[in-house]
């Protein structure tokens, strides 16, 4: 037994000795490796050649001349990394260089063995505080030229024989606090994107490329991601699967489909887009803060096909401030003539008040009330066919509406081909000349309608001949809509009704009061009604005055007639009237109407002194 324990203790001691020697060797190896990485390797790697190679690589990658002012710094732990500072990229002639980009520092991993051979290979780049300057010149060209390696990779993208450039290592590209300055000489506009951070993963030119970036655009934080299955195929003008998304408070969208980047770019797939409002989107694109009352949220879900100058949206689902529509839209754009939108949209319900406030935002004026901004009509061409099961504008509600909207060269029109209102058929037209700077026109005709709810929805009070009939309006103005006054409106209004009632008008009481030869208010004869067979009223408007050309209200046995002028800017009246019995043997009751609507003063002719 004692012998057994002696053998066991010897074995344990041997094991401890071996373990201590292994630990010692590990420590020695770690020390040797540390010395190798910290002291020995830098002696074998020429920083001058590394710097020159990096300049060559960056020039090859970007297509610009790279210049490194700072001294290179090489770190070998935990993996080899080269850091270069004060880098600039130039284009143009060497005599008159043009600054294309700059960066405080660029770090990249490199192959130790290749570096020892004097031909280092770099990958996994990190750019610190880079600034890129992109300019589109007046001839449509850009200040950046395509890099040589990329041109070769694009040229060989679909070749059957593999090219060595296809396997050029790229790796990850990380951006820390970058800036892009975009200058468009064609449109004389400048854009600036700041605080760009994120990374792109692109192992080789033929591998899948993905990127996730965040930035600040006009005061809003944005996030952009993209995944492209075959980047070189896309850039060579052939199709590649691509998924991309863009997120921000004013605008978000995503696309999943195929695209190519040829001279005539093309994309086809599913597009989803949401925007806070047209007004907010326009203000953001102009670098302005959106107004607090911006309304009109927009949402689009469609199958789209886009080429260089056209965008076609099929199976379109559209939401405008809660109103849903389906249909198709075609958008074409031309640099000289601006975009053109054609299509057909079918809405379930449509609030025109909200829609117009979204499309035509109010612009503050220093000397007048706020006005509608319709300047976009000079930059947009429209040809839309709209339908809605229900459409409302303020207190007016129409059903089964079919309309067309057209705009071109500053002229715009809305034509209502068919609609139902107050049980009648409505058609009409609103037209603007020179985006409203030269006035406009309003025409509509309401036939076979119950005119009582029409008067109620318009807020009209007082004695009115209400029945079933027709209302026709044809008005126009040559004044700019931004400065339009009631006095600048001219035109004609026609009103015809059958088998109705003139409410708040007691015919016999009116005649009795008139026979007394004294002044009285029409309200004194308002306890009752006057049933009529027909009512025929025609009025013309000009210079702030409505001339009542004819107003004949024919009832049982007598006809009420009025004629004269109504200066509608102040609501006053100056009318001559008569109640004529059908029996010519009975004298007519003649009177003068003055004062203001809806309770004017009646002056029987007997109460008006004869002229001396």
SS (H, E, C) 173-221: EEEEEEEEEEEECCCCEEEEEEEEEEEEEECCCCCCEEEEEEEEECCEE
Domain assignment of residue 20, given as a range: 1-44
What confidence score (pLDDT) does residue 136 get?
85
What confidence score (pLDDT) does residue 284 get?
84
Report if residue 297 sits inside a domain.
no
Sign of the C-alpha dihedral computed for residues 16, 18, 20 and 26 taken in this order: negative
For residue 35, pLDDT over 60 is answered with: no
For residue 34, pLDDT over 60 is answered with: no
SS3 label, residue 148: helix
The model's confidence at residue 189, banded by pLDDT at 50, 70 and 90, is confident
CB atoms within 10 A of CB 517: 12
- Burial class (CB within 10 angstroms; exposed 0-12, middle 13-18, buried 19+) of 591: buried
Q: Mind listing the pLDDT tens digit for each residue in 398-418?
A: 999 998 888 887 778 888 888
- Burial class (CB within 10 angstroms; exposed 0-12, middle 13-18, buried 19+) of 51: middle
Q: What is the DSSP string of 278-303?
A: HHHHHHHHTT-PPPTT----EEEEEE
**How do beta strands 340-351 and 381-393 pair?**
parallel
Q: Which uninterrupted H or E stretch holds 468?
A: strand 465-477
Provide the β-strand partners of residue 590: 578
Report if residue 599 sits inside a domain.
yes
Report if residue 166 sits inside a domain.
no
Q: Mind listing the pLDDT tens digit for each residue in 218-247?
A: 889 999 999 999 888 887 778 899 999 999
For residue 375, pLDDT over 90 is answered with: no
Angle between helices 352-359 and 278-285 (to 10 degrees): 0
What are 256-264's contacts with CB under 8 Å, separation 24+? 257/304, 259/234, 260/233, 260/234, 260/236, 261/234, 261/235, 261/236, 261/237, 262/236, 262/237, 262/238, 263/237, 263/308, 264/307, 264/308
Residue 482 CA, chain-centre distance (Å), reads 23
Report if residue 70 sits inside a domain.
no
The highest-confidence range among 88-97, 179-188, 468-477, 562-571, by mean pLDDT, is 468-477
Q: Are 383 and 406 in contact (CB under 8 A)?
A: yes
**Cα distance between residue 324 and residue 356, in whole Å:** 16
The verdict on pTM exceeding 0.75 is no
Number of domains forming the structure of the chain: 2
Greater confidence, 59 or 357? 59
Q: Are 51 and 120 in contact (CB under 8 A)?
A: no
Q: Are 523 and 503 in contact (CB under 8 A)?
A: no
SS (H, E, C) 248-262: CCCEEEEEEEEEECC
Report if residue 425 sits inside a domain.
no
**Cα distance between residue 345 and residue 351, in whole Å:** 14
Report if residue 306 sits inside a domain.
no
Rg (the chain; Cα; Å):
41
Q: What mean pLDDT is predicted for residues 373-395? A: 77
Q: What mean pLDDT is predicted for residues 437-457? A: 86
Q: What are the backbone angles phi and psi of residue 361, rounded to the nearest 5°?
A: -65, 150
Alpha helix positions (H), 516-600? none
Length of the chain: 612
Q: Mind listing the pLDDT tens digit for each residue in 253-287?
A: 999 999 987 777 889 999 999 998 877 787 787 77
Contacts of 581 (CB under 8 A, 6+ apart): 557, 558, 588
The model's confidence at residue 5, banded by pLDDT at 50, 70 and 90, is very low
């Amino acid at each position: 037994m004692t012998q057994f324990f002696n053998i066991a203790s010897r074995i344990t001691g041997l094991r401890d000795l071996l373990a201590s020697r292994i630990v010692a060797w590990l420590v020695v190896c770690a020390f040797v490796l540390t010395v190798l990485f910290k002291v020995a390797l830098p002696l074998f790697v020429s920083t001058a050649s590394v710097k020159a190679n990096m300049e060559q690589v960056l020039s090859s990658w970007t297509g610009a001349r790279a210049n490194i002012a700072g001294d290179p710094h090489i770190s070998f732990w935990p993996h080899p990394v080269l850091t270069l500072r004060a880098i600039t990229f130039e284009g143009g002639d060497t005599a008159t260089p043009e600054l294309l980009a700059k960066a405080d520092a660029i770090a990249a991993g490199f192959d130790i063995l290749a570096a020892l051979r004097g031909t280092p290979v770099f990958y996994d780049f990190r750019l610190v505080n880079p600034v890129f300057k992109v300019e589109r010149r007046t001839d449509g060209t850009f200040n950046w030229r395509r890099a040589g390696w990329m041109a070769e990779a694009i040229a060989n993208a679909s070749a059957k024989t593999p090219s060595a450039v296809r396997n050029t290592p790229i790796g990850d590209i990380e951006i820390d606090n970058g800036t892009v300055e975009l200058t468009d000489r064609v449109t004389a506009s400048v854009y600036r994107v700041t605080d760009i951070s994120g990374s792109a993963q692109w192992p080789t030119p033929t591998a899948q490329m993905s990127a996730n970036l965040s930035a600040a655009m006009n005061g809003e934080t944005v996030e952009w991601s993209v995944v492209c299955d075959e980047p070189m195929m896309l850039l060579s003008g052939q199709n590649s699967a691509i998924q991309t998304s863009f997120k921000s408070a004013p605008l978000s969208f995503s696309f999943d489909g195929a695209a190519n980047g040829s001279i005539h770019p093309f994309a086809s797939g599913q597009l989803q887009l949401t925007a806070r409002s047209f007004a907010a989107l326009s203000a953001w694109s102009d670098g302005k803060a959106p107004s607090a009352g911006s309304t009109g949220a927009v949402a689009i879900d469609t199958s789209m096909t886009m080429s260089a100058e056209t965008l076609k949206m099929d199976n379109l689902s559209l939401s405008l401030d809660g109103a849903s529509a389906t249909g198709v839209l075609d958008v074409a754009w031309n640099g000289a003539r601006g975009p053109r939108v054609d299509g057909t949209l079918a809405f379930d319900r449509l609030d025109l008040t909200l829609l117009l406030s979204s499309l035509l935002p109010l612009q503050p004026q220093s000397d007048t009330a706020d006005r509608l901004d319709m300047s976009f009509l000079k930059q947009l061409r429209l040809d839309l066919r709209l339908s809605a099961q229900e459409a409302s504008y303020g207190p007016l509600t129409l059903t089964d509406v079919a309309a067309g909207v057209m705009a071109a060269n500053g002229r715009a029109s809305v034509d209502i081909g068919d609609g139902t209102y107050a049980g009648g058929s409505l058609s009409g037209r609103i037209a603007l000349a020179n985006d409203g700077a030269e006035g406009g026109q309003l025409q509509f005709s309401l036939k076979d309608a119950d005119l009582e709810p029409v008067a109620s929805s318009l807020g009209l009070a007082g004695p009115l001949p209400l029945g079933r009939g027709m209302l026709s309006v044809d008005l126009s103005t040559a004044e700019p809509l931004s400065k339009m006054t009631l006095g600048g409106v001219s035109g004609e209004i026609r009103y015809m009704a059958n088998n109705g009632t003139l409410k708040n008008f007691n015919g016999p009481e009116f005649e009795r009061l008139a026979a007394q030869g004294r002044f009285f208010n029409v309200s004194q004869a308002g306890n009752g009604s006057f049933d009529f067979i027909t009512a025929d009223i025609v009025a013309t408007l000009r210079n702030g005055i409505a001339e009542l050309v004819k107003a004949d209200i024919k009832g049982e046995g007598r006809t009420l007639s009025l004629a004269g002028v109504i200066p509608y800017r102040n609501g006053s009246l100056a009318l001559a009237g008569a109640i004529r019995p059908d029996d010519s043997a009975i004298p007519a009751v003649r009177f003068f109407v003055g004062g203001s609507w809806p309770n004017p003063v009646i002056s029987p002719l007997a109460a008006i002194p004869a002229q001396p």
